[in-house]
């Protein structure tokens, strides 16, 4: 789950990380009020769950409260397009109004999970304000990393090591180390999957602050953090993903291809997408229906996939272990009874109660295409999506 910049900053501030003074505003008049309280010279920042706002025109400086009101009027309501929003952009509902900072240096700092190392990694770079992906591609040696033993936590010497690598010395060393430790602490305490400050700035008067902040949270740990779940802004999420969650399908991720996938098990769902790609196609989604013997779950999966206008074929790939193939087959039949499925359906079934499942499909007379294995299923789905 993602949150807005102002929410991430509130969390980080509670863990002792310095952030600029400021407040969220939902109207130009509110922005003016906040700017007045801050002395007039402010920065007005669009609050959307996407980075690259600066380049897209979503971050603007204002020299007075009147100007802040005017600029907020331009930003609130705009359809902000950045490299992370897709071409349609994201509608801006609120802005963060903050005191302007006299920036001397822009740095990069983040904490995330390094899956290969099986522990958190703290990354820092002197190339702040730029996309970290760009730095990683063009100038990888500019990124410094320290891995943290989760049982011990981040140690001050590790933070000092990173601060040295960033060229921070003298009076900026101590606040930088303290901010890094705060960031790590917040990351762990809130079960974050990412905590990123880009840019981390050194001001001309020697302060070190988080000028931007981004936090993503592990969905599987949200039950431990109702205060984080309360920050959720569904308007920022893909509407189909929200609806899938409400229909009990937690593991649906919308993609750009044209082959809708219904699979049981996350690993098999990944393999299914790979197989589709290998056969020359593009998956329209990742979808793991989970291990439940519930006809409705299959029907709901069809409901979601059917709403994606890009879908031209549906591939059902089931390996029944705990899940029963006959229940899935009933689900496929029930889905066709409840809705106009519109696109060709390819089915690959294997595992528990296979014979019963096959009989249900056969007796239904539905024009589903049967595949003997995953490779064939992917090939048939690609052909079906292409109208062959």
DSSP codes, 329-377:
HHHHHHHHHHS---S-EEEEEEETTHHHHHHHHHHHT--PEE-SSHHHH
HSE-up of residue 51 (Cα within 13 Å, Cβ side): 15
52 is an interface residue for ligand GDP by CB under 6 A: yes
The window from 29-37, 51-59, 187-195, 351-359 that contacts ligand GDP (CB under 6 A) reads 51-59
CB of residue 199 to ligand GDP, shortest distance in Å? 5
Quick one: tokens of 71?
């600029």
Give me the residue whose beta carbon is nearest to ligand GDP. 54
Candidates 88, 30, 80, 72; CA nearest to 54 is 80
- Indicate the burial class of 216 (C-beta count within 10 angstroms; 0-12, 13-18, 19 or more): middle
Phi, psi of 145 (to 5 degrees): -130, 140
CB of residue 157 to ligand GDP, shortest distance in Å? 29
Candidates 5, 1, 2, 3; CA nearest to 213 is 5
Nearer to Mn ion, 198 or 258 (CB): 198
CB of residue 57 to Mn ion, shortest distance in Å? 14
Length of the chain: 388
Report yes or no: 58 and 46 within 8 Å, Cβ to Cβ. yes
Among residue numbers 106 through 135, which ones bind ligand GDP (CB under 6 A)? 106, 129
Interface residue with ligand GDP among 67, 127, 196, 212 (CB under 6 A) is 212
CB of residue 336 to ligand GDP, shortest distance in Å? 45
Enumerate the β-bridge partners of residue 42. 62, 99
d(CA 31, CA 5): 16
Nearer to ligand GDP, 215 or 269 (CB): 215
Alpha-carbon dihedral sign for residues 145, 149, 152, 153: positive
Catalytic residue among 6, 15, 108, 184: 108
Interface residue with ligand GDP among 1, 3, 11, 43 (CB under 6 A) is 43
Taking CB within 5 to 8 Å according to partner kind, which of ligand GDP, Mn ion, none is near residue 154? none
Nearer to ligand GDP, 199 or 357 (CB): 199
* Interface size with Mn ion, residues (CB under 5 A): 2
Residue 196 bears catalytic tag: yes
Contacts of 154 (CB under 8 A, 6+ apart): 120, 122, 146, 148, 180, 181, 184, 185
* Interface size with ligand GDP, residues (CB under 6 A): 16
Among residue numbers 88 through 107, which ones bind ligand GDP (CB under 6 A)? 100-101, 103, 106
Mark residues 181-220: x for contact with Mn ion by CB under 5 A, - for none: -----------------x-------------x--------
Nearer to ligand GDP, 120 or 199 (CB): 199
Mark residues 186-205: x for contact with ligand GDP by CB under 6 A, - for none: ------------xx------
Nearer to Mn ion, 198 or 264 (CB): 198
The window from 32-40, 53-61, 68-76, 133-141 that contacts ligand GDP (CB under 6 A) reads 53-61
d(CA 112, CA 56): 26
Taking CB within 5 to 8 Å according to partner kind, which of ligand GDP, Mn ion, none is near residue 59? ligand GDP
271: enclosing H helix or E strand: helix 266-278
Quick one: tokens of 218?
């592990």
What DSSP state is assigned to residue 141? G
Alpha-carbon dihedral sign for residues 313, 314, 319, 324: negative
Nearer to ligand GDP, 198 or 312 (CB): 198
CB of residue 266 to ligand GDP, shortest distance in Å? 31
d(CA 3, CA 196): 12
Q: In what order do the strands lie in the sheet with 95-99?
A: 22-25, 95-99, 42-46, 59-62
Catalytic residue among 67, 196, 236, 241: 196
Residue 67 bears catalytic tag: no
Nearer to Mn ion, 56 or 257 (CB): 56
- Binding positions for ligand GDP, rule: CB under 6 A: 43, 45, 51-54, 59, 100-101, 103, 106, 129, 198-199, 211-212
Residues that bind Mn ion (CB under 5 A): 198, 212
Residues belonging to the active site = 108, 196
């Amino acid at each position: 789950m993602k949150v807005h910049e102002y929410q991430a900053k509130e969390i980080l501030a509670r863990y002792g990380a310095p952030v600029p003074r400021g407040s969220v505003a939902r109207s130009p008049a509110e922005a003016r009020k906040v700017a007045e309280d801050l002395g007039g010279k402010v920065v007005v920042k669009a609050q959307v769950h996407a980075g690259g706002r600066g380049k897209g025109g979503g971050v603007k400086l204002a020299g007075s409260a009147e100007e802040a009101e005017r600029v907020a009027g331009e930003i609130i309501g705009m359809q902000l397009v950045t490299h992370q929003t897709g071409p349609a952009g994201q509608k801006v509902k609120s802005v963060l109004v903050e005191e302007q900072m006299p920036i001397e240096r822009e740095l990069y700092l983040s904490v995330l999970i390094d899956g290969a190392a099986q522990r958190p990694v703290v990354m820092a770079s002197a190339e702040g304000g730029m996309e970290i992906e760009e730095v990683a591609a063009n100038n990888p040696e500019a990124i410094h990393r320290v891995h943290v033993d989760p049982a011990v936590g981040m140690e001050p010497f590790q933070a000092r090591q990173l601060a040295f690598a960033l060229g921070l010395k003298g009076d900026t060393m101590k606040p930088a180390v303290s901010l890094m430790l705060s960031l790590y602490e917040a990351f762990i305490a809130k079960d974050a999957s990412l905590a990123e400050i880009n840019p981390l700035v050194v001001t001309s008067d020697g302060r070190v602050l988080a000028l931007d902040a981004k936090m993503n949270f592990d969905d599987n740990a949200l039950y431990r953090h109702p205060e984080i779940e309360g920050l959720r802004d569904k308007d920022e999420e893909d509407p189909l993903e929200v609806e899938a969650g409400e229909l009990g399908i937690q593991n649906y991720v919308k993609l750009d291809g044209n082959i809708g996938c219904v699979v049981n098990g996350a690993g098999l769902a990944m393999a299914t997408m790979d197989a589709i790609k290998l056969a020359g196609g593009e998956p329209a989604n990742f979808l793991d229906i989970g291990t439940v013997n519930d006809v409705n779950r299959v029907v709901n999966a069809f409901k979601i996939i059917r709403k994606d206008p890009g879908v031209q074929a549906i591939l059902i790939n089931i390996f029944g272990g705990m899940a029963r193939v006959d229940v899935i087959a009933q689900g496929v039949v029930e889905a066709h009874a409840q809705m106009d499925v519109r696109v060709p359906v390819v089915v690959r079934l294997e595992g528990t109660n296979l014979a019963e499942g096959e009989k249900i499909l056969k007796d239904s007379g539905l024009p589903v295409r049967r595949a003997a294995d995953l490779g064939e299923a992917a090939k048939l789905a690609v052909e079906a999506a292409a109208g062959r």
